[in-house]
Amino acid sequence: MPGFTCCVPGCYNNSHRDKALHFYTFPKDEELRRLWLKNVSRAGVSGCFSTFQPTTGHRVCSEHFQGGRKSYLVRVPTIFPLRGVNDPAAFDSCSFISSA
């Protein structure tokens, strides 16, 4: 078992090494999935993770969830290590979501 690596840009947590963390797959719910993608994309170095298509192999670790874990109230990852995540200008250049 090689473990999972977090797919968030700038995050290198690995389930094999960081056993205290949880690693979540992208939700099946379309709306929720869109929000995850949006947030993860904003964390990209260029502000756009244009070719990113999550598969069952992509995981997001619990560090990106408010309170350190996904829950009924915290369903979308909002905490990212890279700068510019909260910069709307960076996200505006990203059009792949609206065109999907």
Minimum separation from the CB atom of position 41 to Zn ion (A): 14
Give me the residues that bind Zn ion (CB under 5 A), please.
6, 8, 11, 13, 61, 63
Minimum separation from the CB atom of position 13 to Zn ion (A): 5
The 10 Å CB-count burial string (b at 16+, else e) for 11-34 is bebbbeebeebebbebbeeeeeee
CB 36 within 8 A of CB 26: yes
Distance CA 71, CA 28 (A): 16
Number of residues that make up the chain:
100
In the bound state with Zn ion, the residue whose beta carbon lies nearer, of 67 and 95, is 67
Minimum separation from the CB atom of position 98 to Zn ion (A): 26
The residue sitting closest to Zn ion, measured at its beta carbon, is 6
Minimum separation from the CB atom of position 33 to Zn ion (A): 17
In the bound state with Zn ion, the residue whose beta carbon lies nearer, of 42 and 63, is 63
Distance CA 40, CA 60 (A): 9
In the bound state with Zn ion, the residue whose beta carbon lies nearer, of 20 and 89, is 20
In the bound state with Zn ion, the residue whose beta carbon lies nearer, of 4 and 95, is 4
CB 97 within 8 A of CB 38: yes
